[in-house]
A and B are shown apart, each in its own frame.
Chain A
Amino acid sequence: MTSTQQQDLSIFKDNTIVSDHILTSPNSYLTLISHVEGTQPTWLVNSLIESSLQGTSTLVNKDLNRKLINRSELYMISFLNNEDYYVRNCKKNGLDLSRESKFKFIDCFTDLFTKIITNPENAIADIDRLFESIFKQISTSKSDKKIIILESPEILLASTNISSIKLNNLILKLNRLCRNLYIITSHDHPQIVDVNNQDINDPAFETTDFLIKLHYKSNVNIHFEPLTTGRADDITGILTVSKGSLPFKESTISINEKSYTYNVSKESNIKIYFR
């Protein structure tokens, strides 16, 4: 292994962020990106967008420098940010998402509680309608290399009367429409994840149930957390890439299980270090 590779992030053993074998697979897979307070995974999401669309990874893997045209079709569904947020952030990666025809942003943030969901206490029909429109939009395209990134769906659990099983079912249907679904969720303990909580009236009970069921379906887990030893100026956090509950069906897809420390500078430059 060369010295340059040692400072690079690769999720798969073929030194890629989004593997070609996933894009050409007939199966659908799930990757969970979990984070806790103080470690937003925005830079990784930007790299996933870049890697999915053109195969490169300017900021985190210098070896991935061969640009491929229309590598896959990427759908970004966000309950937490609007399109501007990603268009602005991806400029650092050399991408102008406003001109990318293969990048589709589905905004579930701007009008979520004004137009999309009018009564959060009785929101099942509204959420069904929302997901139906998403399914329709994704199914319209004939491309068989679709990647979906779903950001913060757990917001629906905290703010509406939807159950964890119902939300899991909708996500499962979404997963079947693409080669790989990335779900970005918060794993704050004990506000979101509390496995010992048995109080069904506590919102953490439903979010924990939702996340555990998601983890049973995941193929890759990517976890962000702050340094366990406390805050440091030159390290922002720890990133761990580990295998999920389900193995990949293709033996050609192998996860590069590794733990990294990383630093995001004020200029949004990313430095990755092996732990």
Chain B
Amino acid sequence: MSSQSSLVLLNRVLNLKDGIPFVLVIDTLVQSSNYLIEEFVSKYSGDVVYLSFETVNKPHYASEFIDCMDLTPKEIISKVKEVVKTPETITALTKKTLIVVDSLNYIVPEELTTFVSSIISPSIILLAVYHNDVAKKSTTNGNFPSALRLLHYVASSIFEIEPYFTQIDQEEFDNNINKLKFPIHKEINSPIFKLEFTNRRKSGRALSYKFIINSSTHVYEIVKESEEAAFVEDESLLKDLTTFNLTTNSKQKVAKEQVELPFMAAQDELGSYSGAIVYEFEKDDDYDEEDPYEDPF
């Protein structure tokens, strides 16, 4: 798919236009879903029902706020049905109700798919968040799939978000986060973040795209894979380190790529000798009749 059409697709999904029943947002402690949810609702003009498991303040965009803290999934579903009235006839022009769930982590995996499928209806779009770094409890049945895997199966679009770091020591950063210690980085929980968007077509085929989202300016950019690769091999870092020339020019790079490495040749020609040391005499080799290393006995 061309870059232009992937942007069009992202815009359509963010506008919740394609009749998508269930959008899953996967976030982490270092990039929470807050800005992405705001991005969705800022483009949505219908009613928004907010199901809160962990939200303290009622969001400004919520027309209904249901406190789900001490409720069972069944009680939540019946509350949703009380609030959202299903119209008798549903046409393409019928305004759907958007249901935002602040976290699906509070529902046990065994009840998760039933919960999601009971909420989804032709007049409802479900936008739910799953926190990826919350500790995962093993289920009573050891073979039962994890909550995230189940959600991957049922979601029609998946938005996985992470901070957009330009430069970072990943190992040190991960080490800090594993101790729940949050270093100072302007990229953490910022309105500008990286998004991996997976869209599942009606045929079931899933396609993934990466974007940089700026939720303050509502500008979306496609991440070019080559940009990421270029970041890894940055020769400018070697400049002015010594008086030696450590860089390679383009001609040298081509020559380097064309060098035939000996072990590659060995695999082609000599693999059939099954590990034996094979010596092939070449014309420049100096051949001695007497071997100084020969065993005298």
Contact = CB atoms under 8 A, between A and B. Distances in A.
B104 to A, nearest CB: 13
B56 A216 contact: no
B173 interface: no
Interface in B137-179: 137-138, 177-179
B188 interface: yes
Interface residues of A, number: 43
Interface stretch (A45-53, A60-68, A94-102, A189-197): A189-197
Contacts of B135: 195, 197-198, 205, 208-209, 212
User: Could you say which of B131, B180, B188 has the most chain A C-beta atoms within 10 Å of its C-beta?
Assistant: B180
Interface string A124-135: 000000000000
B184 A195 contact: no
A240 B181 contact: yes
Given A247-B189, A259-B184, A200 B57 contact: no
Contacts of A200: 137-138
B139 to A, nearest CB: 11
Q: Is the interface of A mostly helix, strand, loop or mixed?
A: mixed
A172 B69 contact: yes
B interface, how many residues as a size bin?
Answer: 20 to 34
A221 B178 contact: no
A176 B179 CA distance: 28
Interface string A21-53: 000000111100010000000000000000000
Contacts of A176: 56
Given A208-B135, A209-B134, A244-B189, A257 B184 contact: yes
A223 B69 contact: no
The 9 closest A-B pairs by CB, nearest first: A245-B32, A209-B135, A169-B69, A27-B57, A242-B182, A189-B179, A257-B184, A221-B182, A28-B56
Interface of B: 29, 32, 34, 54-57, 60, 69-70, 103, 105-106, 131, 133-138, 177-184, 188-189
